[in-house]
A and B are shown apart, each in its own frame.
Chain A
Amino acid sequence: MNDKPALDLNKIRARLESAQGPLYWKSLEELAQTEEFQAYVEDEFADRSPDWLNPANRRNFLKLMGASLAFAGVTACTKQPKETIVPYVRQPEDFVPGVPLYYATAMQMGGVGTGLLVTSHLGRPTKVDGNPDHPGSLGASDYFQQASILTMYDPDRGQAVTYKGQISSWISFQAALAVARERAILKNGEGLRILTETVTSPTLTSQIQKILKEMPSAKWHSYEPCGRHNAYQGALLAFGRPVNTIYRFDQADVIVSLDADFLSCGPGNLLYARQFADKRRVQTNVTHTPQPKEDWQEGYQEGPIPARSNQSASYADENRGPVILPPQVQAQGKPPAETTLNRMYVFEAAPSPTGGMADHRFILRASEVEAAAWDLAAALGISGATSTGKLKQAAAIARDLQAHKGACVVIAGDHQPPAVHALAHAMNAALGNAGKTVTYTDPIEGNPVDQGESLRQLVADMNGGKVDTLLILAGNPVYSAPVDLDFAAALKKVATSAYLGLFPDETAALVQWYVPEAHYLESWSDVRGFDGTVSFVQPLIAPLYGGKTAHEVISTLAGEPGKFPYDIVRDYWQSQNKTANFEIFWQKALHDGVVPNTAVPAVTVTAKTPPPSSARAAQGFEIAFRPDPTIWDGSFANNGWLQELPKPHNKMTWDNAVWISPSTAQQHGLNSEEMVELKYQGRTVTGPVWIMPGHANDAVTVHLGYGRTRAGQVGNEVGFSAYLLRTSAQPNHDSGLEIRRLGGRHPLATTQHAQTMEGTDPVRVATLDQYKKSPQFVEETEQDKPLPPKLTLYPDYRYQGYKWGMTLDLNACVGCSACVAACQAENNISVVGKEEVARGRHMHWIRVDRYYKGNWDNPELYYQPVPCMQCENAPCELVCPVAATVHSGDGLNQMVYNRCVGTRYCSNNCPYKVRRFNFLLYSDWNTQSLYGLRNPNVSVRSRGVMEKCTYCVQRINAAKIQSEKENRRIADGEIVPACVQVCPTQAIVFGDINDPKSRVAQLKAQARNYSLLEDLSTRPRTTYLGRLRNPNPEIEKG
């Protein structure tokens, strides 16, 4: 039972040493770089010298804690070890040690960039968050962005240029590239190929195009294993030209999703989720009737100790009545009669967050979605569309859509064949959505090609010996290319091959030259958002492991070696706008994180019905390939946070599995965790079964990205690789799968075992109509009858000053789990590894519970985030023998790690089980590179200590101190806990309940407001807003 399989310390130390070896082969500017790097490292000293300078100090200190405390005997304080403090030599201007700085940058995924705001403690990026000014983020972010920072510090990243496996140097690579360039120029580019992922970077595009102009015969191929080329093919089919589609869900009252999980992934998903949630938010106007103090907030005569009462002493004028209203008052909160919700129909094979939010979820095999699309098109009377008669409810849906002409959306999933996209376009056109809820722009890609085809050509040429120089810019094609192309074999036929990648991975092992890539937090670049808006990528730290950007590689190939990426990007943009005040433009763009009006202009196109496609719903057992929810196409395989993040759909961690529906599993006599062999087109893989309620019958879904062999300490040999079955012909789904029981079990680590609510009702649901009839439906339940305000022998505490509280709107939460990752990043939460998760020792402070309701083949899905409830009558506090968890003056349930002795009684007595315990030494004291990652404002917990959510108390304190300096009250929304900040749908709201104007107080006054397990009289400060569904009465009946 090792604490942290995630990070093998000895190996890592070895790597670090090898990386810090002699530098004699390095070029001059490289040395300069390393100095810069050194400088950055020094920055850490000023802040928290002990750890970074000498990790031993802190480790010893903790060791000492054990021994010397026992000896010192009478006190908790013990002789401090000798620690040094290291000032700058020359202090940078804007650096205030102890005060973080925020830089705007952007992260690209599948070529689509999202603007970010990164927190930096003295040159040490510690937290990634969305950039409110960026259209694709609006301040939100997803767990890939949250976790990307861990990848940057990952000690497994490539740390040296290698040639045929031997450590070489950047300078020699440049030399080699120069030679290749000469050779290519002679042949006018013949045999020179560049393979990239989807590229939207204007700079990189222009760089490559410059080369293509110089050597016309050179070719630029793009391949993205989980890319969106189907969408472009669909556009071609519909409009005869590739376009980029942008949706306006804030305008859509009816949504039909054809296997599109637009709420949790794909371009613009953060914006779309927000727009979708806004259409589902229920606004109720409650008249606040504060209760007289003696009735509602009766304090003790002696009162809480002066410290507390002081808090609001000088705010006497603001000493308002409390706003948590007793139930009978809440009941007054009637929703406006005109409360409306949007309605969503989802057609999908495997449950997704989007499917979970659907009012009607139609379970179809991936291949049957097209048939459904045809039926719908036919029902909408689109010329040339013929019904297959599969979809009974087609007519009803069509009526619903037609009733909302111009205010509805039909969206097709990226994994669906072009025909479905074309049909979606046709339907949107027919419904008059084009230009209203759906707009089209030119593609944002620099190289909008059919990527599947593009790769096929490349491989063909490689095999045909037509390629002598191949430059692979990221993407790890050896691992992720369709298996039938056998990229690895083809690669051997290439004379000169080079690969730029973050990790020395599968591809790096087979190419001649491997160049470590600079992480986006280390690079200068630019990238387009989902709507084309350009954001600059600016580094927060010099490359930790001497990584290089694609810009540098290409510019070397272009004959400009040694040009800094900064200059490359800057020069490009200077060339773009020749205005005099470029400097201002540049600075502003860098500061804001977006380049003004760079969004790609809309184009008007006319959709034509696609030719009836031959591939109607195929027969036979079907397999669907999907990117993994948390590690995507495998590029995040070595990221411990994402490996351990419970997958939103089934709460599984550290594995992928063969998803199969309950009844199909029954037919084949399969159980979860049972090993099966998947045989498809003569190729086989074996993996464990996961029985997935709500999955289509006679079909399995497998997730890509696992089964890595050279991902790193974390990702190696985890799960099975579905790429081994994926062909270039049918990359998304196909029939003809054979499934065979192998016997034998492969335990899967899941964080939630019970699937249903087991008769309890943590999630309260009502349909819109029911809600309109009885707004306080949340109280009409078996248990948790609302309690009379005073169901206690003791008088209530009076919380003057601030009174923190939180609401979670289950109507807005799409269960995307971004909050879990954000919390982990903000609060230095440890990764514990598969074994520990399997035991039930995962450490996430906020979890997203997932419940099924109804029959197992097509259940309703409900998501419920559960952080600490901050109960006013906290059961955990009562039983702590050392007062390590007590209440604060503003009603927080404090957890004092350094006082905790670890009896774990508090966890036993917590009805919500939100407390997490360090059963072993989970936090990694040994991996130096991870020290930089930690949030300096949160203690790193040691072994034997209980931990839990405290509403990000470090942020509360920061705000408090700021406001006190300015001698004012903290403004509503000034304090933003990590989960609130990250949430794409703003389902989580935090604030001061004593302030009747605060958003949280307003929400708590809603009739939908209820607290979990209210009958225990724990008086949670965290409450929920009941979930509403808006089914189509026509279908509900039929």
Chain B
Amino acid sequence: MAQLFHRSTNALANLSIGATVLGAGLLIAFAYSMDRGSYITDVRVVKEQPVPFSHKHHVSDDGIDCRYCHTTVETSSFAGLPATEICMSCHSQIWANAAILEPVRESFRSGESLEWTRIHDLPDFVYFNHSIHINKGVGCATCHGRVDQMPLMYKENTLYMNWCVNCHRNPEKYVRPRDQVFNMAYEPPANQEELGRKLVEENHIQSLTDCYTCHR
């Protein structure tokens, strides 16, 4: 017998070809799932904070308006993070001795700021401006999700460019009346399409997809 290969190698050869093709496909699929998955994007990932602050409690239970703490959201690019004294304005009375609030009181005493872990953190080359979005009728919940139902804060959306551009291309799908911006429970009406178009017209909402809208 002068056979160099056993007959099984025929099958093996074909198998290996199939395997390679399949493997390549799987690899790409894996890469995408990694990229779009929460491991990279941190979507719905709760991060450790100095104080386990519950938006759910403060917003839906206590009914505190967003702007009570995020004071500059309507006027500045930066929504604003409450200074310790804002926390203390209530918590010097309520839960004044609660152990979990010790870091807050400590900060108030020592003048050392609290160090929160950023949840919504854009790359440094992205320039986002809260005030204009608020002014044009983009609801808090549209980007941040139902914060009023988050015991601990997490990111609702990827904040990827395609996610931003999606709304920038057709705002009429997402905008709401200005008086509804801070309404967490707002549900887009059935006629969102036409309402959206109306709002776009009224509030002169542009669909800006120029690079420099966000990158400078």
Contacts and interface: CB of A to CB of B under 8 A. Distances in A.
A90 B208 contact: no
Contact of A79 (B40, B200, B206): B40
B121 interface: yes
Interface stretch (A81-89, A538-546, A711-719): A81-89
Interface string B18-33: 0000000000100110
Interface in A289-310: 305-307, 310
B135 A85 contact: no
A781 B215 CA distance: 40
Contacts of B135: 964-965
Contacts of A894: 210-212, 215
B32 to A, nearest CB: 6
A898 B215 contact: yes
Nearest to A90: B85
Nearest to A86: B113
B210 A888 contact: yes
A967 interface: yes
A87 B39 CA distance: 27
Contacts of A759: none
Contact of B31 (A47, A74, A83, A84): A74
A76 B165 CA distance: 15
Interface residues of B, number: 62
B68 interface: no
B76 A84 contact: no
B107 interface: yes
A570 to B, nearest CB: 27
Given A888-B211, A961-B132, A89 B40 contact: no
Contacts of A953: 212, 216
B111 interface: yes
A307 B207 contact: yes
Given A85-B116, A310-B206, A937 B31 contact: no
A84 B216 contact: no
Given A75-B35, A97-B80, A89 B113 contact: yes
A965 B81 contact: no
B186 interface: no
Contacts of B203: 967
A77 interface: yes
Contacts of A899: 211, 215
B114 interface: yes
Interface stretch (B9-17, B94-102, B122-130, B139-147): B122-130
Contacts of A42: 113
B35 A89 contact: no
A87 B84 contact: yes
A47 B76 CA distance: 11
Interface string A556-576: 000000000000000000000
Nearest to A968: B204
Interface in B158-210: 158, 160-161, 168-169, 200-201, 203-204, 206-210
B62 interface: no
Given A90-B84, A898-B123, A98 B212 contact: no
A939 interface: yes
A61 B76 contact: no
B118 A84 contact: yes
A892 B117 CA distance: 37
Contacts of B113: 42, 45, 86-89
B126 to A, nearest CB: 8
Which of B75, B200, B206, B213 has the largest count of A CB atoms less than 10 A from its CB?
A: B206
Contacts of A307: 168-169, 206-210
Interface string B67-86: 00001100111101111111
A175 interface: no
Contacts of A83: 117-118, 121
A896 B211 contact: yes
Most buried by A among B31, B108, B112, B211: B211
> What is the interface of chain B mostly: helix, strand, loop, or mixed?
loop
Contacts of A99: 72, 75-77
B214 to A, nearest CB: 9
Interface in A904-963: 937-939, 950, 953-954, 956-957, 961
Contact of A90 (B83, B161, B211): B83
Nearest to B200: A310
Nearest to B39: A79
A954 B127 CA distance: 10
B131 interface: yes
Contact of A47 (B78, B86, B212): B78
Contact of B201 (A75, A314, A897): A314
B108 to A, nearest CB: 7
Contacts of B207: 306-307, 310
Contacts of A58: 124
Contacts of B108: 89
A88 B116 contact: no
Contact of B32 (A74, A87, A888): A74
Contacts of A896: 211-212, 215
B115 interface: yes
A892 B212 contact: yes
Contacts of B200: 310
A939 B84 contact: no
B34 interface: yes
B161 to A, nearest CB: 7
Interface string B144-155: 000000000000
B31 A77 contact: no
A374 B76 CA distance: 64
Q: In the complex, which of the residues A98, A894, A953, A954 has the most CB atoms of chain B within 10 Å of its own CB atom?
A: A98
Nearest to A940: B124
A87 B114 contact: yes
Interface string A878-899: 0000000010110010101111
A86 B83 contact: no
Contacts of B112: 89
Interface string A78-112: 11101111111111000011110000000000000
Contact of B78 (A98, A957, A964): A98
Contacts of B161: 76-77
A870 to B, nearest CB: 12
B16 to A, nearest CB: 25
A994 B81 CA distance: 41
A80 B121 contact: yes
B55 interface: no
Given A889-B210, A965-B132, A46 B81 contact: yes
Interface string A197-219: 00000000000000000000000
Given A894-B211, A896-B215, A961 B131 contact: yes
A42 B108 CA distance: 14
A957 B212 CA distance: 8
Contacts of B201: 313-314
Contacts of A967: 203-204
Given A77-B160, A965-B131, A89 B85 contact: yes
B211 to A, nearest CB: 5
B97 to A, nearest CB: 20
Interface of A: 42, 45-47, 50, 58, 61, 72-80, 82-91, 96-99, 305-307, 310-311, 313-314, 886, 888-889, 892, 894, 896-899, 937-939, 950, 953-954, 956-957, 961, 964-965, 967
24 contacts: A45-B113, A61-B124, A73-B31, A75-B35, A77-B158, A77-B161, A78-B40, A80-B118, A82-B118, A85-B115, A87-B114, A89-B85, A89-B107, A96-B72, A98-B76, A305-B209, A311-B206, A314-B204, A888-B210, A889-B208, A889-B210, A898-B123, A938-B216, A939-B124
What are the 10 A-B residue pairs with the smallest beta carbon separation, nearest first? A98-B78, A98-B76, A87-B81, A88-B83, A898-B125, A888-B210, A91-B83, A98-B77, A307-B207, A314-B204
Given A74-B32, A90-B83, A307-B210, 13 more contacts: A47-B78, A73-B31, A74-B28, A78-B40, A87-B82, A87-B113, A87-B114, A91-B71, A310-B206, A888-B210, A957-B216, A964-B135, A965-B132
